[in-house]
Amino acid sequence: MAAGQRPLVLAYHAVSSAWRSPLAVTEWTLRDQLQHLARRGYIGLTFGEAERLRRCGGLPERSLVVTFDDGWSSTLRAKPILDELGFPGTVFVVTRFVDSGAPLSWFGIDNGRDEDTHGEYLPLQWDDLRRLHATGWEIGSHTVTHPLLTTLDGDALAAELTGSRSRICEQLGSCDSLAYPYGVADERVALAARAAGFAGACVLTGAHVSDTPYLRPRVGLSEADAGTRLALKVSRGGLALRRSPVARAIRRARGRRSWQPPAQGD
Ligand SMILES: [Zn+2]
């Protein structure tokens, strides 16, 4: 392994051919994107496996982590596609919804909900997660209720992190990884994640370029990422460019996405 080797960590949400949403990719697109990486020799790992190998220096030259945020029931549509390509998945769930079975609901995803798409909002259930876990998928935390963690006081922050982690541990025996809601964390939140017992955690927005165990970056892929655009986005050069000062400046100028709640000072 080369020194400083990084895994390529992808972030997805829902998987649906019937639901037109920035949060959903079709099965066809998901297969197309992952086939692109399989053909390039990427080896699939869970988020936790990649983290462990990275720390002991055993990360393969080209390693891929495929993550799914929120715990949409449509994540199950990804399972046969990942199986076909030999990649495990990592799903980060919002435990209150797994417990209640209520449709997913928080700032940024309630717009455009109607009769036709109601079923798309249903959460994965504990039985689904047990089955995924039994076949090598990792089940991580995405907090209890999906708040913007940077706006919470210390007690509320700790409750969101430890509450979801202990619930997943009760149901599945372990919970080592965390994805921050809205992909957003700062140093205070990262320290709280460590204190809550997670071994690693990941962001999604480009707001953070530090690559430390509790602020691991991910690349979000959407329906539009195909062909040359996809090839560039996941190429070594493309990934290095995303970490450059110019790219950071562009992301800052672009500002908050519509699905992200306003932060203090936003
Ligand atoms: Zn989320």
Per-residue pLDDT tens digits for 193-246: 999 999 999 999 765 567 899 999 999 999 999 999 999 888 888 777 777 777
Identify any residues that bridge with 12 across adjacent strands, giving them in sequence order: 68
**What is the CA(249)–ligand 1 centre distance, in A?**
24
**What is the CA(245)–ligand 1 centre distance, in A?**
26
Q: How many CB atoms lie within 10 A of CB 93?
A: 29
Local structure of 188: helix, strand or coil: helix
**What is the CA(182)–ligand 1 centre distance, in A?**
5
Instruction: Count CA atoms closer than 13 A to 192's CA, side-chain side.
Output: 23
pLDDT 10s digits, 111-149: 667 778 889 999 999 999 999 999 999 999 999 999 999
**What is the CA(1)–ligand 1 centre distance, in A?**
32
Residues with CB under 5 A from ligand 1 (ion): 69-70, 181
**What is the CA(145)–ligand 1 centre distance, in A?**
10
Q: Give me the count of residues in the chain.
A: 266
**What is the CA(86)–ligand 1 centre distance, in A?**
25
In sequence order, which residues have a C-beta less than 8 Å from that of residue 14 and are 6 or more positions away? 21, 23, 24, 25, 70, 72, 74, 75, 120
In sequence order, which residues have a C-beta less than 8 Å from that of residue 49 and are 6 or more positions away? 88, 138
Judged on CB neighbours under 10 Å (0-12, 13-18, 19+), 72 is buried
**What is the CA(71)–ligand 1 centre distance, in A?**
8
